[in-house]
Amino acid sequence: MPTPEAAAIAAELRTAMSKLTRRVKHEDRIPLGQVAVLGALDRDGAMTTSELAADQRVRPQSMARAVGLLMEQNLVTRRAHPTDGRKSLVELSDAGRAALDAERGRRVGWLAQAIEDELTDRERALLAESAALLERLATR
């Protein structure tokens, strides 16, 4: 059972991280659900629509619509599944990779500017240490 101190830190951290995540995502130009699909394809490679739906925890019909929108924007392409002729794989197009990189750049750019504008040198050093701790917690 965590101590009351650890529980209080966890609650404050969760709230702060949620607010920061929402604020950073505000910089997006592509809808959040579409960015999530592009990110999954970038991270994990080509997938079927069903695999993408499971990865994103949405219904296959919803993912089929999202993939259709991404295809209309030329951000993803389809190709035949190598072992199952009934299936196709969805993968990032070059334009999709460029759009995803631009989204990530906007997010990082906003956050870097906020860090520079709002934090002292000492606070920046503390934040850098905290990032390593957060990564350690995330991989637990």
The per-residue pLDDT for 24 is 87
Tens digit of each residue's pLDDT (9 = 90 or more) over 116-138: 999 999 999 999 999 999 999 99
Q: How far is 24 from 18, CA to CA, in rounded Å?
A: 10
At a CB cut-off of 8 Å and minimum separation 6, what does 37 contact? Answer: 52, 56, 63, 66, 67, 70, 76
Distances (CA, A) of 22 to 18, 28, 80, 132: 6, 10, 37, 21
Distances (CA, A) of 48 to 40, 59, 70, 88: 12, 13, 14, 6
The per-residue pLDDT for 64 is 96
Domains of the chain: 29-108 (1.10.10.10)
Tens digit of each residue's pLDDT (9 = 90 or more) over 33-80: 899 999 999 999 999 999 999 999 999 999 999 999 999 999 999 999
The per-residue pLDDT for 32 is 86
Q: Is the pTM of this model over 0.85?
A: no
Q: How far is 60 from 50, CA to CA, in rounded Å?
A: 6
